Structure 1
Amino acid sequence: MILVLLGYMGSGKSLVGRKLAEDKKFEYLDLDNYVEIQEKKTISQIFNDKGEIYFRKKESEYLKEVLESKIDVVISLGGGTPCFAGNMDLLKTYSDLKSIYLNTSLDVLTERLFVEKDKRPLIAHIKEEEDLKDFIRKHLFERSYYYNQADVRVTTDNKGASEISVEICENLF
């Protein structure tokens, strides 16, 4: 079985993904880390050197590669992965794959991301917290169509990784 976590950046996909993999005795893979290893550059460097379009193309190629080669794995996608290159449709073609949307509120995302925005190429340029909130709001609106196609939706506000992992397992198994 393949479990795929999706949601906006800062929703906890990596943290929850590691915990869920540990709980289920599955392998864990973070797609952003995989892209960085394959490209031998950080996501920020890829964005700066080659742009978002190049990144999205490579991200989709690596997602296909990973899905074809893995079983009993939890995969954390990048926040935009489901929204580009037909990736959400691709996920739906796998009968042994379950997608989980980690739904996190606008306020929680803004709080989490403002303190780490310098590490995130899409938001590094934003200086004010209210501007960041507006940016996230717009993205959530645009991306909700894709996120809401997930097999399972879990609200993450005020929950730790262990609690979220248990809730996912209760919904899937």
Structure 2
Amino acid sequence: MKIFLSGYMGSGKSVISQKLSTKLAYPLIDIDEQISLIEEMTIPEIFKFKGELYFRRMETRILEDVLEDPNDLIVALGGGTPCYGTNLDLIKNFPESKMVYLKASVEFLVKRLFKEKSQRPMISHLETEDDLEDFVRKHLFERGYYYNQANLVVNVENRTPNEIANEIADKLK
């Protein structure tokens, strides 16, 4: 089985995927980390020097590689991965794959993201929390169609990564 964790930036995909990987003893692939390793750049550097479209194409290439891997895997998708091109269809049409949407409110995401916006190329230019809230609200509306096609939707607010990983593991058994 391949378990794909999806959700907006700041929803906890990276941390929760690590906990789930340990709990299920499945190897973990974090798509953003893989892109950084291959490109030998941080995600903000890739966006700055090569552009978002290049980054999105890299996401698709790594997703295709993941799907060819014969092993059970936990995969932390980038926030936009299921929303680009045919990526969602690739995930949904792959036998024994499950997509989990780590759902969080706009307010929760803004509070979490504002502190770390300089590390996130999509939002680093936003000056105020109000600007960030407008951006997140618009993005969540646009991406909701993709995220809500997940096999499992898990609310992440006011919960520890271990609690969330336990719920995912229990519900996917």
Q: Which residue of 1 aligns with 2:123?
A: 123
Q: CA deviation at 1:103?
A: 0.3
CA contact (8 A) 1:2 1:70 kept: no
Match of 1:159 in 2: 159
After TM superposition, give the deviation of residue 28 of structure 1 in Å: 1.0
CA distance in 2, matches of 1:71, 1:160: 28
Question: Matches of 1:122 and 1:70 in 2, distance apart?
Answer: 33
User: What displacement does 1:29 show?
Assistant: 1.3
Aligned counterpart, 1:97: 97
- The SS at the match of 1:145 is helix
Letter in 1 for 2:163: E
> Given residue 157 of structure 2, which amino acid in structure 1 is its aligned partner?
D
CA shift digits 1:89-121 (9 cap, x unpaired): 000121111110000111110000000000000
Secondary structure of the residue aligned to 2:168 is helix
Deviations 1:21-63 (A, max 9, x none): 1000111111000011111211111111111111111111111
Structure 2 counterpart SS, 1:32: helix
Q: Which sections of structure 2, spanning at least 5 residues, go unmatched?
A: none
So what's the TM-score if we normalise by structure 2?
0.97
- Percent pairwise identity: 47
Q: In the alignment, which residue of structure 2 is the partner of 1:138?
A: 138
In 2, distance between residues paired with 1:70 and 1:79? 24
- State the number of aligned residues: 173
**5+ long unaligned stretches in structure 1:** none
Q: Secondary structure at the match of 1:126?
A: coil
Residue type of the alignment partner of 1:169? A
Which residue number in structure 1 is paired with residue 63 of structure 2? Answer: 63
Counterpart position of 1:21: 21
Consecutive aligned runs of 4 or more in structure 1 exceeding 3 Å deviation? none
Q: C-alpha distance in 2, partners of 1:170/1:25?
A: 14
SS at 2:75 equivalent: strand
Q: How far 1:70 sits from its partner (Å)?
A: 4.8
The AA in structure 2 aligned to 1:160 is T
What's the Cα RMSD here?
0.9
